[in-house]
Amino acid sequence: DNLLGISWVDSSWIPILNNGSVLDYFSERSNPFYDRTCNNEVVKMQRMTLDHLNQMVGVEYILLHAQEPILFIIRKQQRQSPTQVVPLADYYIIAGVIYQAPDLGSVINSRVLTAVHGIQSAFEEAMSYCRYHPSKGYWWHFKDQEEREKTKPKAKKKEEPSSIFQRQRVDALLLDLRQKFPPRFVQQKPGEKPIPVDQIKKEPEPAPEAVKPEEKETVKNTQSAGAKGPPEKRMRLQ
């Protein structure tokens, strides 16, 4: 089990903690950091001194550093010979509270997780302020900006005068534009290539037919006769 997140304390031992009693305090059976199969437990049961630990092989606890009455450091190590040991774990006692010292891998892992968590939280908070609209694109919208806009007095918007485009009809404007800028190309039939207006041949207008003078006189006579009406009939004498 991971013991880095727990601690243990027995308040009855705190007033009498010193270099000679700190190992007895650490070897309490309720201490979760203490291994009861260690050589210290064997020496304690056989009522021998701690000097006999150097002649034994196995797990043992030693006092590594002491700064009475506040700090004590105890090391757990594997003894392989009287001159060769392998450190397994370190424990520090501060004001009577026992903690397990983390190893280098645990420290680096904790710092990396803390940094990654902070970066991830920063990205999530930044994404919460990001807004997008197809017509506007991306922009930032912060909460304090809303509060500032609420506190600011709202200024009355001046009514803008209507433009010419709003007052006149669209067709009138288009007609005006057509007169000012006549088209230069014309597409006579759909699908054909537009051609310049100058190249379009205009059909000649039919010339007035020449009327003979005799025909003109007959036309005039018929017109005058139509105007006067038919001649009167005379009575025949019997």
Span of 79-88, 183-192, 200-209, 210-219 with lowest mean pLDDT: 210-219
Nearest to 24 by CA among 87, 93, 102: 93
Q: What CATH number corresponds to the domain at position 22?
A: 3.10.450.580
Are 93 and 130 in a shared domain?
Answer: no
User: Cα torsion at 106, 112, 117, 122 (round to 10°)?
Assistant: 160
pLDDT at position 113 is 94
Are 28 and 52 in a shared domain?
Answer: yes
Confidence of residue 101 (pLDDT cuts 50, 70, 90): very high
Are 86 and 136 in a shared domain?
Answer: no
Are 76 and 127 in a shared domain?
Answer: no
Please check whether residue 67 lies inside any domain of the structure. yes
Q: What percent of the chain has pLDDT over 90?
A: 35
Contacts of 58 (CB under 8 A, 6+ apart): 38, 39, 78, 79
**Which string of b and e fits 6-15 if b means at least 16 CB within 10 Å?**
eebbeeebee
| Mean residue pLDDT across the chain | 80
Are 120 and 92 in a shared domain?
Answer: no
pTM confidence score: 0.50
Span of 49-58, 132-141, 169-178 with lowest mean pLDDT: 169-178
Please check whether residue 23 lies inside any domain of the structure. yes
Are 50 and 94 in a shared domain?
Answer: yes
Rounded to whole angstroms, how far apart are CA atoms 31 and 8?
A: 6
Number of domains in the chain: 2
Are 17 and 40 in a shared domain?
Answer: yes
Full domain range(s) for residue 107: 102-141
Please check whether residue 127 lies inside any domain of the structure. yes
Are 44 and 116 in a shared domain?
Answer: no
Tell me how crowded residue 97 is: count the other CB atoms within 10 A of its CB. Answer: 13
Confidence of residue 87 (pLDDT cuts 50, 70, 90): very high
Confidence of residue 193 (pLDDT cuts 50, 70, 90): confident
Are 127 and 88 in a shared domain?
Answer: no
Confidence of residue 238 (pLDDT cuts 50, 70, 90): very low
Are 25 and 115 in a shared domain?
Answer: no
> What is the tens place of the pLDDT at every residue in 21-42?
999 999 998 999 999 999 999 9
Q: What is the mean pLDDT of residues 210-220?
A: 53
Are 42 and 116 in a shared domain?
Answer: no
